[in-house]
Amino acid sequence: MELADSELLIRITELSGENLRSCYQCGKCSASCPMTDFMDLFPRDVIKQILEGKEQVLLSETPWVCASCFSCTVRCPNEIDIAGVMEAVRQIRLREKYDRFHPSRIPLDELEGLPQIALIGCFRKMTG
Amino acid sequence: MKSITYFPGCTHHTNGRNMESSGKAVLETLGYQLEEMPEWICCGTVFGLSEDDLFHQVAPIRNLARVENAGDDKLVTMCAMCYNTLGRANLLVRKDKVALEALNRFMDDEPDYHGVVDVFHLSQFLRDEVGFEKISSKVRRPLKGLKVMPYYGCLLLRPEEVSIDSMEDPTIICDILEAVGVQSIKGSYISQCCGSYHTVDKKEAVARRAFEIISSARKKGAEMIALACPLCEFNLDDRQRLLSDNGMPVLYFTELLALAFGLEDSCDFDEHYVDPRPLLREKGLLGGSNGQE
Ligand code: SF4
Ligand code: SF4
């Protein structure tokens, strides 16, 4: 008997357009990820928790550490765009008016040296 | 002189100006004049990944609509992120007519876009339009004896739909540099992320990425890293400030072309955190033919 999809899985599927149910937990995404040292959940575990409907995944650090580098995406044997799934998790939070980062947290002496491209990229990914 | 329409993006007039000035000078020597597209706006830097997030496609498509309206069908950028964002948005609207219609309706102050513009990264333009032979023919000082690891990063190669070369084994920047005499070194981290925009909110993580990429380059015998993106440049060069092992010069590949063409005045080496001049002088590649300035 197929379990019914959780609300979380339905929402993430809508936002990302990805079929997470094709994931067979091979871990290739985690193995390809350059940022795992800074993550609390491996990319594979993010996918697993979403599949299990565990809302706590929305509080994970991992989507905020993800750098949208697409290494996982291009290596997943089931063509799941994991980077897009990370974005979906971020979007759920950001659309609840949650800001992960505030410009005031950048020390003034550093702000001057930072390239625009970094600032715009960061605000696009980390603020609602 | 042929003219080509150029999209500078937010950073090549500021932190990344060395790539622009050297790239421009190199193209002029090759017979191409870069014409900045009129009224360009920021592309948004990162491609929106949510299915319902059409709003974030407005900026890239607005730019492409303006290029089309000016009668052009080709747009060249030097920035890997601009290339990726403009290129993916373009592919999206070419595939999804409903999205294109919605965007055109939204931009009712702009003539419609019809998906006709092709987006190129400068490295592609050099490979496909100019050719390695022509590049070699303009060399005045071959960069002999300089061991350089080309670094590609993410967004010129991934995802596959916009990749400018093989995703797992890219050679395009090696090939361009070899055309001017550089000995290119293949490293194992050449397409691993530099940490990207996290340089703003997690600079230690980015410094660690820089450390790993630079250490791997050194292990392979590289004396310098050459790259093609202003954000990669900042992360691999400037973030060496946070490292104790911090002497790896990082240049735009266009600066190396400029050096080989005798156009070093188009590069302001003071803009780099790690000064490449001692290495270039040691190799006799700076100033007069004996390496004296
Ligand atoms: S690589 Fe794909 S199939 Fe493998 S664990 Fe990751 S998401 Fe699942
Ligand atoms: S896109 Fe994110 S999760 Fe995937 S490999 Fe890159 S940093 Fe890791």
Contact criterion met (CB below 8 Å) for B19 and B233: yes
CA dihedral B25, B27, B31, B36 (to 10 degrees): -90
Report how many helices (DSSP H) and strands (DSSP E) chain B contains, helices first.
12, 8
What's the rounded mean pLDDT across residues B157-175?
97
Residue B16 has pLDDT above 80, yes or no: yes
| Nearest residue in chain A measured CA to CA from B153 | A69
| Nearest residue in chain B measured CA to CA from A32 | B192
pLDDT tens for B86-137 read 999 999 999 999 999 999 999 999 999 999 999 999 999 999 999 999 999 9
State both tokens at B53.
Answer: 């997030």
Model pLDDT, residue B246: 85
Question: Maximum CA pair distance of chain A?
Answer: 60
Question: Using CA of residue B23, residue B27, residue B28, residue B34, what is the dihedral sign?
Answer: negative
pTM value? Answer: 0.96
Which domains are present in chain B? Answer: 2-122 (1.20.1050.140), 140-283 (3.40.50.11810)
What's the rounded mean pLDDT across residues B184-203?
96
Model pLDDT, residue B287: 76
Residue A15 touches partner B, C-beta closer than 8 Å:
yes
B4 forms bridges with which residues in the sheet? Answer: B34
Question: Tens-of-pLDDT digits for all 128 residues of chain A?
Answer: 556 889 999 999 999 999 999 999 999 999 999 999 999 999 999 999 999 999 999 999 999 999 999 999 999 999 999 999 999 999 999 999 999 999 999 999 999 899 999 999 999 999 98
Ligand 2 closest atom vs CA A65 = 7
Number of Cα atoms under 13 Å in the Cβ half of residue B136: 9
Q: How many angstroms separate the CA atoms of B87 and B47, rounded?
A: 9
Question: What is the 8-class DSSP label of residue B126?
Answer: I
Model pLDDT, residue B293: 45
ipTM of the complex: 0.95
Q: How many angstroms separate the CA atoms of B267 and B258, rounded?
A: 8
For an interface test with B, which of A76, A79, A92, A117 has the most B Cβ atoms less than 10 Å from its Cβ? Answer: A117
For the sheet with B250-252, list strands across it.
B183-184, B147-150, B224-227, B250-252
Residue A27 amino acid letter = G
pLDDT tens for B212-233 read 999 999 999 999 999 999 999 9
CA B10 to chain centre: 13
Model pLDDT, residue A4: 80
Mind telling me how many Å the CA of B8 is from chain A's nearest CA?
A: 12
B7 forms bridges with which residues in the sheet? Answer: B77
Residue B291 has pLDDT above 50, yes or no: no
State both tokens at A35.
Answer: 């940022």
For an interface test with A, which of B50, B86, B236 has the most A Cβ atoms less than 10 Å from its Cβ? Answer: B50
Model pLDDT, residue B290: 42
Alpha carbon separation from B80 to A127, B177, B230, B261 (Å, rounded): 23, 18, 8, 24
Q: How many angstroms separate the CA atoms of A115 and B273, rounded?
A: 14
Ligand 1 closest atom vs CA A24 = 3
- The pLDDT mean for chain B works out to 96
Q: How many angstroms separate the CA atoms of B209 and B207, rounded?
A: 5
- Backbone torsions φ then ψ of A76, nearest 5 degrees: -60, 125
What's the rounded mean pLDDT across residues B45-61?
95
Contact criterion met (CB below 8 Å) for B88 and B120: no
State both tokens at B174.
Answer: 């090696």
Residue B55 touches partner A, C-beta closer than 8 Å:
no
Testing ligand 2's pocket by substitution, the residue of A69, A73, A125, A126 carrying the most ligand atoms inside 8 A of its CB is A69
